[in-house]
Structure 1
Amino acid sequence: MRETDAVLTEILNNTKVIALVGWSPNPDRASNHVALFLKARGYRVIPVNPGQAGQVALGEVVRASLADIAEPVDMVEIFRRSEAVLPVVQKALAQLPGLRTIWMQLGVQNAEAAALAEARGVQVVQNRCPAIEIPRLGL
């Protein structure tokens, strides 16, 4: 999929609930900054981090895995190394039936995971940050 400005705008305007895989409670980590930014922009952000599971962050209980999310999720945002993305995408596709977008953070790309998601009709964004794209697009 070509990540044109029109496509990014459509994704960001139609997303309401984001599962953020690799969320960190450390305020120095990018995943923490981006989660706070998205929450402040009105998105519901569900943090996913097995080491922090059960704690409350961003007004949500931190989940150990995507399998622990029972409610509908529009987007899974991935803060993991590129080589760790495929199992995350496989779990997302298996566990989140209404999923519309897989978003891989800056520096994160995985062609196999992207092809798998796109084959299932899920949009894929790679190597981009919504906290950069939202202001850039004027959203």
Structure 2
Amino acid sequence: MTDDVIERLLDHRVWAFVGLGDSPDREVHRQAGLMKQRGKTIVPVHPDGAEVLGEPGYRSLAEVPGEIDVVGVYRRSEFAGQVVDEAIAAGAKAVWMPLDVVDEAAAQRARDAGLDVVMDRCPAVEWARRR
């Protein structure tokens, strides 16, 4: 992953956050809130499908209407591969795996499918470095 890839992802408009539920104490909630404050459209994806941060929620990436630019993979590393495969199937342009979420095989599958990949990086930190 290069700085160009990170910059491209930060410029994308629609971010689906897998693992985004209604618990404000979770890191995914903070990251989604920050991206929303920065003008991004956020899409909560969580098994309960609840509304989060004023946005309608969906139970899976397959249920999300419209295009998804970036899928934030806020699941433990052992579940990242499944989310990446769902992102590929949903036609996402990119996947972002935050700090401590690492799955090299899933990242390679995403790249092979034409998606940009950022792994083991924090969107808020990368935003602050570039903006």
TM range (shorter): over 0.9
Contact 2:16 2:42 in 1 (8 A): yes
Secondary structure, in 3 states, of the residue corresponding to 2:32?
Answer: helix
Deviations 1:72-108 (A, max 9, x none): 00000011011101111111111x22x2111001100
Secondary structure, in 3 states, of the residue corresponding to 1:46?
Answer: strand
Aligned to 1:7: 5
Secondary structure, in 3 states, of the residue corresponding to 1:42?
Answer: coil
1:42 aligned to 2:7? no
**Distance in 1 between the 2:46 and 2:5 partners?**
29
Contact 2:21 2:52 in 1 (8 A): no
Provide the aligned C-alpha RMSD in A: 1.1
Aligned to 1:61: 56
The correspondence for 1:110, drawn from 103, 108, 114, is 103
The correspondence for 1:33, drawn from 26, 30, 35, is 30
The share of aligned pairs that are identical, in percent, is 38
Deviations 1:36-95 (A, max 9, x none): 0000000000001113x1x3222321111111112100000011011101111111111x
AA paired with 1:31?
V
AA paired with 2:126?
E
The correspondence for 1:87, drawn from 42, 64, 82, is 82
Contact 1:5 1:137 in 2 (8 A): no
Q: What is the deviation of 1:124?
A: 0.6
Secondary structure, in 3 states, of the residue corresponding to 1:109?
Answer: coil
Give structure 1 regions of 4+ aligned residues with deviation exceeding 4 angstroms: none
Extract unaligned runs of 5+ from structure 1: none
Q: How many residues align?
A: 131
> TM-score, normalization: structure 1?
0.89
Q: What is the deviation of 1:129?
A: 1.2
Deviations 1:3-48 (A, max 9, x none): 33232112212x1001100113111110110010000000000001
> TM-score, normalization: structure 2?
0.94
Alignment of 1:119-138 (within 5 A): 119-138=112-131
Aligned to 1:74: 69
